[in-house]
């Protein structure tokens, strides 16, 4: 099997890449930080291709696509994502521009081209990573949440047209993950124990990607939180505000 | 009562308000601009067109038009803010972020540059403008209203990016409303299919389906009704538009 993983150098993307390589698959690992990926490529000679791309830039995405010309992927995980937290009006617009490009522009661009140019093999899968914030809201991360809502909507919409091309779509709604990214954005009080280890999440995603499910709320706690958010959307957002927004110290982006 | 406190008690009739409406050169936005101006408010209308004589279109002395093309959010926002400053507006009572475009077709055929532009016009601009307007809205304890779409209720194979931008606005408003609690109100209003030129501009011939679409006038008055009711999230169904007919807005009321 041949896979493409974006944001592969750290966190969840790293765990996904390592697990795929360990089970003997070929991986095109994309990140703007290629150094850690080159080490992986050395270790898994021939199976891992480290590719530089800055997903903030349309030209860089275009270069990546040019470089991958003629590939056929069985699994594409559009994992790269960034965050910006704080009061909406205190976060600078440049941070929002980055957020929109990386979390929304890039996955839409890549998914559309990979399917449109027939680089997805028959019975292949594209995985989009949304967030639990899609069901519970995220005061203190309003634009981050907005990009994740948009990606969930896009994934839902393209499922049918992509299926005609024999490509299926999986959307993942992870809760807090124990990565450097989450450390940076969570208020100081929130404890690490509540977050899921990236290795565990990667296993759940890879398992779901082999099945037929269209959505994945990984882990029991995430599932329960999602149920609560669907039943009581207003209360959930209010709780999120009390738990996160009210405790925030300053913006982080 | 201090000036600021009097502005906060929004319900009282008779005061002239400051209203900003984007995408006001056609369809629902144009009707909204005329309606608010008709009730005596000062309206700043924006659009992408360069109009030789805006009074031809608006025919109301209390509507000022400026060209602010949303496909360049940075430029458009600075044009809007400087227009507000030129008019001496220090606070903003109501902002309706209505302007949008659509692209119709299969997602795998969507050109990358068109996709980027759609995200800029329908999503990035709204974020930039909300950011720029925040101090003006806080000053007036005003309201930020975004226009979404009922398209977000279902999977839209041929409107995937358009629908994603509207779902993004829905999520933005949900969280921002909580953040701005007590400082300014945030509302998201999702109109159903409406008989405007939007579909034709996107290259879609709606044909006979247009008879099942709602009239733009009805939708525009339903939006005003939802704004008056301060609904935080309102889907404009035919039933809601019907109910809106029994609520009339007096002069001076938003
Ligand atoms: N019509 C429907 O069925 C429907 C359903 C649900 C939601 N909506 C939403 O309702 C809102 C109004 O739509 P409508 O039906 O009234 O459409 P419309 O008649 O096409 O009006 C859209 C307005 O936005 C302006 N606009 C478009 N691109 C722009 C840009 N780049 N910069 C600045 N202004 C721009 C248009 O300018 P021009 O006059 O130059 O074109 C026009 O004034 C939109 O947010 C739309 O998504 C519509």
CA–CA min distance A88, chain B (Å): 7
B4 inside domain? no
Rounded distance from Cα B223 to ligand 1 centre (Å): 14
The per-residue pLDDT for A250 is 85
Residue B121 Cβ < 6 Å to ligand 1: yes
Partner residues linked to B18 by β-bridges: B42
Q: How confident is the model at residue B250 (pLDDT cuts 50, 70, 90)?
A: confident
Q: Are strands B185-191 and B143-147 parallel, antiparallel or unpaired?
A: parallel
The per-residue pLDDT for B11 is 47
Can you tell me the mean pLDDT for A84-113?
Answer: 97
pTM above 0.90, yes or no: yes
Residue B168 Cβ < 6 Å to ligand 1: no
B91 inside domain? yes
Average pLDDT, chain A: 94
Can you tell me the mean pLDDT for A234-249?
Answer: 91
Q: How far is residue B254's CA from residue B243's CA, in Å, rounded to a whole number?
A: 18
The per-residue pLDDT for B192 is 96
Task: Pick the atom of ligand 1 nearest to B98's CA.
Answer: 45
Q: HSE, CB side, 13 Å, CA atoms: give it for residue B195.
A: 12
Share of chain B above pLDDT 90, in %: 84
CB-nearest to B178 from A109, A160, A238 is A238
Scored b (16 or more CB within 10 A) or e, A198-214 reads: beebbebbbebbeeeee
CB contact under 8 A, A149 and B163: no
Residue A120: name the closest of A64, A69, A71 by CA.
A71
CB contact under 8 A, A150 and B131: no
Can you tell me the mean pLDDT for B168-194?
Answer: 97
Can you tell me the mean pLDDT for B162-176?
Answer: 98
CB contact under 8 A, A241 and B179: yes
Residue B70 Cβ < 6 Å to ligand 1: yes
Question: Which residue has tokens 């960034």?
Answer: A82
CB contact under 8 A, B112 and A112: yes
- Asked if residue B206 has pLDDT above 90, the reply is no
- Asked if residue B10 has pLDDT above 70, the reply is no
B10 inside domain? no
CB contact under 8 A, A145 and B157: no
Any idea of the CA torsion for A93, A87, B9, B254, to the nearest 10 degrees? 40
**Coil, helix or strand for A73?**
strand
A143 sits in which H/E element: helix A142-163
Q: How far is residue A30's CA from residue A17's CA, in Å, rounded to a whole number?
A: 10
Among B9-13, B35-39, B138-142, the range scoring the smallest mean pLDDT is: B9-13
B70 inside domain? yes
Better-scored residue on pLDDT, B52 or A230: A230
DSSP letter, residue A102: I
The per-residue pLDDT for B9 is 41
- Asked if residue B168 has pLDDT above 50, the reply is yes
Residue B73 Cβ < 6 Å to ligand 1: no
Domain count, chain B: 1
CB-nearest to A142 from B74, B157, B176 is B176
CA–CA min distance B251, chain A (Å): 33
Task: Count other Cβ atoms within 10 Å, centred on residue B106.
Answer: 17
Name the residue range of residue B212's domain.
16-246
CB contact under 8 A, A88 and B171: no
B251 inside domain? no
- Asked if residue B31 has pLDDT above 60, the reply is yes
Asked if the interface predicted TM-score (ipTM) of this complex is over 0.90, the answer is yes
CA–CA min distance A41, chain B (Å): 30
Among A83-87, A193-197, B229-233, the range scoring the smallest mean pLDDT is: A193-197
Q: How confident is the model at residue B14 (pLDDT cuts 50, 70, 90)?
A: low
Among A150-154, B200-204, B231-235, the range scoring the smallest mean pLDDT is: B200-204
Helix axis angle for B112-119 and A106-116, nearest 10°, is 150
The per-residue pLDDT for B109 is 97
Whether A153 contacts B168, CB under 8 Å: yes
Could you tell me the CATH number of the domain that includes residue B210? 3.40.50.720
Residue B29 Cβ < 6 Å to ligand 1: yes
Q: How confident is the model at residue A249 (pLDDT cuts 50, 70, 90)?
A: confident
- Asked if residue B2 has pLDDT above 50, the reply is no
**Residues, chain B:** 254
Rounded distance from Cα A28 to ligand 1 centre (Å): 41
Q: How far is residue A90's CA from residue A86's CA, in Å, rounded to a whole number?
A: 7
B83 inside domain? yes
Could you report the per-residue pLDDT of B101-146, keeping only the tens digit for each? 999 999 999 999 999 999 999 999 999 999 999 999 999 999 999 9
Pick the residue from chain A with its C-alpha nearest to B157. Answer: A157
Can you tell me the mean pLDDT for A22-31?
Answer: 96
**Residues, chain A:** 253
Q: How confident is the model at residue A23 (pLDDT cuts 50, 70, 90)?
A: very high
**Coil, helix or strand for A215?**
strand
Instruction: Give, using CA atoms, the residue closest to atom 23 of ligand 1.
Output: B23
Rounded distance from Cα A76 to ligand 1 centre (Å): 35
Residues of B in contact with A140 (CB under 8 A): 175, 179
Instruction: Give, using CA atoms, the residue closest to atom 19 of ligand 1.
Output: B27
The per-residue pLDDT for B235 is 97
Task: Pick the atom of ligand 1 nearest to B162's CA.
Answer: 47
Whether A204 contacts A173, CB under 8 Å: no
CA–CA min distance B172, chain A (Å): 5
B111 inside domain? yes
B254 inside domain? no
The per-residue pLDDT for B73 is 98
The per-residue pLDDT for A189 is 52
The per-residue pLDDT for B43 is 97
What φ, ψ does residue A215 adopt, rounded to 5°? -135, 155
Residue contacts between A and B (CB atoms, under 8 Å): 150
Could you report the per-residue pLDDT of A135-188, keeping only the tens digit for each? 999 999 999 999 999 999 999 999 999 999 999 999 999 999 988 777 777 766
CB contact under 8 A, A137 and B167: no
Could you report the per-residue pLDDT of B207-216, keeping only the tens digit for each? 888 889 999 9
Q: How confident is the model at residue A97 (pLDDT cuts 50, 70, 90)?
A: very high
Task: Quote the Cα angle for B219-B216-B63, to 5°.
Answer: 95
Instruction: Give, using CA atoms, the residue closest to atom 34 of ligand 1.
Output: B47
CB contact under 8 A, A153 and B152: yes
């Amino acid at each position: 099997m041949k896979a493409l993983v974006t944001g592969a150098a750290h966190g969840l993307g790293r765990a996904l890449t390592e697990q795929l390589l360990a089970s003997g698959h070929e991986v095109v690992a994309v990140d703007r930080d290629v150094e850690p990926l080159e080490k992986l490529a050395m270790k898994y000679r021939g199976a891992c291709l480290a590719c530089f791309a800055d997903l903030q830039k349309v030209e860089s995405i275009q270069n990546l696509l040019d470089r991958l010309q003629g590939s056929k992927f069985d699994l594409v995980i559009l994992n790269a994502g960034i965050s910006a937290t704080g009061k909406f009006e205190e976060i600078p617009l440049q941070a929002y521009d980055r957020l929109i490009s990386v979390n929304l522009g890039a996955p839409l661009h890549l998914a559309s081209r990979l399917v449109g140019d027939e680089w997805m093999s028959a019975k292949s899968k594209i995985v989009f990573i949304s967030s639990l914030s899609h069901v519970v809201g995220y005061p203190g991360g309003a634009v981050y949440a907005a990009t994740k809502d948009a990606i969930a909507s896009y994934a839902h919409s393209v499922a049918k047209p992509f299926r005609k091309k024999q490509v299926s779509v999986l959307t993942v709604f992870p809760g807090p993950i124990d990565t450097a990214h989450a450390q940076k954005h969570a208020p100081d009080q929130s404890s690490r124990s509540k977050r899921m280890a990236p290795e565990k999440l990667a296993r759940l995603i890879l398992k779901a990607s082999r099945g037929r499910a269209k959505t994945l709320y990984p882990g029991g706690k995430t599932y329960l939180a999602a149920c609560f958010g669907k039943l009581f959307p207003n209360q959930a957002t209010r709780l999120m505000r009390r738990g996160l927004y009210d405790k925030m110290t300053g913006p982080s982006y | 009562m201090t000036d600021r406190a009097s502005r906060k008690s929004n319900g009282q009739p008779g005061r002239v308000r400051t209203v900003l409406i984007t995408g006001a050169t056609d369809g629902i936005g144009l009707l909204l601009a005329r309606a608010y101006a008709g009730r005596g408010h000062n309206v700043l209308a924006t659009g992408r067109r360069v109009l030789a004589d805006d009074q031809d279109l608006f025919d109301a002395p209390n509507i000022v038009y400026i060209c602010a093309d949303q496909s360049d959010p940075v430029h458009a926002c600075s044009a809007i803010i400087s227009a507000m400053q030129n008019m001496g507006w220090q606070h903003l009572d109501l902002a309706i972020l209505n302007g949008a475009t659509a692209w119709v077709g299969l997602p795998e055929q969507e050109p990358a540059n068109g996709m980027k532009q759609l995200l800029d016009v329908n999503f990035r601009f709204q974020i930039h403008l909300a950011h720029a307007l925040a101090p003006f809205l806080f000053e007036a304890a005003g309201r930020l209203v975004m226009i979404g779409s009922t398209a977000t209720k279902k999977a839209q194979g041929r409107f995937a990016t358009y629908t994603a931008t509207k779902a993004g606005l829905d999520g933005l408003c949900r969280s921002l409303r909580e953040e701005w609690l007590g400082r300014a109100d945030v509302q998201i209003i999702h109109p159903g299919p409406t008989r405007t030129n939007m579909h034709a501009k996107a290259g879609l011939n709606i044909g006979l389906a247009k008879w099942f679409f709602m009239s733009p006038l009805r939708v525009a008055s339903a939006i005003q009704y939802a704004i008056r009711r301060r609904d935080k999230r309102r889907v404009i169904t035919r039933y809601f538009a019907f109910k809106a007919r029994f609520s009339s807005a007096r002069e001076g009321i938003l």
